[in-house]
């Protein structure tokens, strides 16, 4: 009975780890898109600032949003790789090479 419980727990843990990787992948895609949008917004704001259409406060806000979006992207990237390596650890499987680990 103990072997079965352990096997079932391992299966559930692997399933949960796979779900975490999928969620992290989605969050990473969203963060990447938000980073791209924030960079473009900053470029537009900078160009508008140069020609005098907006003040420095609005440029500063655009820069802060750009910086925050980049930070969010980096955090999402970190979360993805943490989830990826947790799945590898739980399953003892190298998904890139298609071989067992250990």
What's the total number of domains in the chain? 1
For the chain, residues with pLDDT lower than 70 are 1-3, 5
Q: Which pTM was predicted?
A: 0.87
Asked whether residue 58 is assigned to any structural domain, the reply reads yes
Asked whether residue 100 is assigned to any structural domain, the reply reads no
Joined tokens for residue 57: 């406060």
Nearest 5 degrees, angle CA 16-CA 17-CA 23? 90
Query: What are the two backbone dihedrals, phi and then psi, of residue 52, each rounded to the nearest 5 degrees?
Result: 85, 15
Return the pLDDT at 1. Answer: 56
Asked whether residue 86 is assigned to any structural domain, the reply reads yes
Q: State the residue range of the domain holding 13.
A: 2-94
Return the pLDDT at 44. Answer: 99
Asked whether residue 101 is assigned to any structural domain, the reply reads no
Asked whether residue 38 is assigned to any structural domain, the reply reads yes
Return the pLDDT at 34. Answer: 99
Nearest 5 degrees, angle CA 6-CA 12-CA 17? 125
């Amino acid at each position: 009975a103990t072997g079965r419980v352990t096997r079932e727990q391992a299966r559930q843990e692997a399933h949960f780890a796979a779900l975490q990787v999928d969620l992290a992948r989605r969050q990473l895609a969203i963060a990447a898109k938000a980073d791209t949008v924030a960079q473009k917004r900053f470029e537009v704001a900078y160009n508008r600032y140069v020609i005098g259409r907006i003040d420095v406060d609005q440029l500063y806000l655009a820069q802060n949003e750009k910086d925050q979006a980049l930070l969010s992207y980096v955090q999402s990237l970190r979360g993805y790789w943490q989830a990826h390596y947790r799945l590898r650890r739980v399953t003892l499987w190298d998904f890139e090479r298609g071989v067992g680990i250990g």
